[in-house]
Amino acid sequence: MDIFGILHSTIRLASPIILISIGGLFSLKVDIFNLGLEAFALMGCFSAVAATYLTKNLLLGSTIGVVVCVIYGLIYSFFVIKMKVNAVICAVAFITLTSGLTRYLMQPIFGTSGKFILDRSFALKPIDLGIFSENNLIGLILNNHTILVYVSIVLPFITHIFLNYTKYGLYIRSIGLNQVAANAAGINVDLWKYLASMASGFFCGLAGIQLAMSMNLFNVEMTAGRGFTALAVLIMTGAQPIPTFFAALLFGFADSISNVLSSGGYQPQFLAMLPYGLALMAVVLPKVFRLIGEKRKRKLSFIRILNREGGE
């Protein structure tokens, strides 16, 4: 068992989850519960591959892919904000739609269905950062990743700074926490909701590029539930950027280990279930604590009264 190999692929596998999670984070921060991250990421994969194939240029294709995803985010928020469609239903609709669209469009665009492999020359290649010398242990883990992986490592920290130290970050946070108060403070709530949704699309698009182009192929349903994993991550961490980073690494690690284990003949399903179980607890436990807290508050008041009135 090659520890460093596992850690290296941990980062590689965690990267798309980090990107999708940050995308979902922006959406959550403005109180749009986007269940459809899966769809956004899948569309990102597909449009990146399709655009690269058609333009024969990785950079251009990737840019188009991201733009498509941003538009996707805009359309989603339009339906939710303006047409007042229920966010969950809209998300499920987007998931079904994207699943169907990507499958359907494979034949007309690529000429095959199910799976399409691009020429190797278009792949997103890993970069050798000269900083790490050959035998450096950290280098073994952190070297030779694609550019988007490196982006995804720094992104959570940049997001944290943006949200907590900039004016617009404060706008976004206040909208999600108390829309009425934000409105009363003169913030243009709708505008920022649209912008946050577009940011969602942007990051999911990046995730799609990383997923698809690092392997230079497109496979139907290649996002394989990563959109929901990202949601589980966000639930676990309460949509905080830096804990999200570590939680995503955890998932990446689980992914990596289960690859190793299954090829060694072990059972990956339980390991795969663990994160969802954790997420479930992350949803339930805070509420339990709050309930206990409220009961204590009332009890304390009660005792205060009893002491004051001298026993009844």
- Contacts with other proteins by CB under 8 A lie at 33, 35, 79, 83-86, 88-90, 92-101, 103-105, 107-108, 113, 165-168, 170, 173-174, 177-178, 180-182, 184-187, 225, 228, 231-232, 235, 267, 269-270, 272-273, 276-277, 279-280, 283-284, 287-288, 291, 294, 297-298, 300-302, 305, 309, 312
CB of 7 to other proteins, least distance (A): 25
d(CA 233, CA 242): 11
CB of 105 to other proteins, least distance (A): 7
Closer CB to other proteins, 4 or 104, in the complex = 104
CB of 161 to other proteins, least distance (A): 9
d(CA 192, CA 68): 20
Residue 125, classed as helix, strand or coil, is coil
CB of 216 to other proteins, least distance (A): 23
Closer CB to other proteins, 79 or 253, in the complex = 79
Closer CB to other proteins, 177 or 242, in the complex = 177
Helix (H) / strand (E) element for 98: namely: helix 87-110
Crossing angle of the two packed helices 3-29 and 147-165, in degrees rounded to 10: 40
Closer CB to other proteins, 134 or 312, in the complex = 312
CB of 132 to other proteins, least distance (A): 32
Tell me the two tokens of residue 217: 């192929």
Query: What does 229-255 look like in DSSP terms, one character per residue?
Result: HHHHHHHHHTT-HHHHHHHHHHHHHHH
Closer CB to other proteins, 56 or 296, in the complex = 296
* CA distances in angstroms from 251 to 14, 44, 203, 246, 276, listed in the order given: 7, 21, 18, 9, 10
Q: Kindly report the backbone phi and psi dihedral angles of residue 217, in degrees, each rounded to the nearest multiple of 5, phi listed first.
A: -150, 160
CB of 208 to other proteins, least distance (A): 18
16 close to 203: Cβ distance less than 8 angstroms:
no
Closer CB to other proteins, 89 or 242, in the complex = 89
CB of 109 to other proteins, least distance (A): 8
Dihedral sign, CA of 301, 303, 304, 310? positive
Closer CB to other proteins, 140 or 278, in the complex = 278
Rg of the chain over CA atoms, in angstroms? Answer: 22
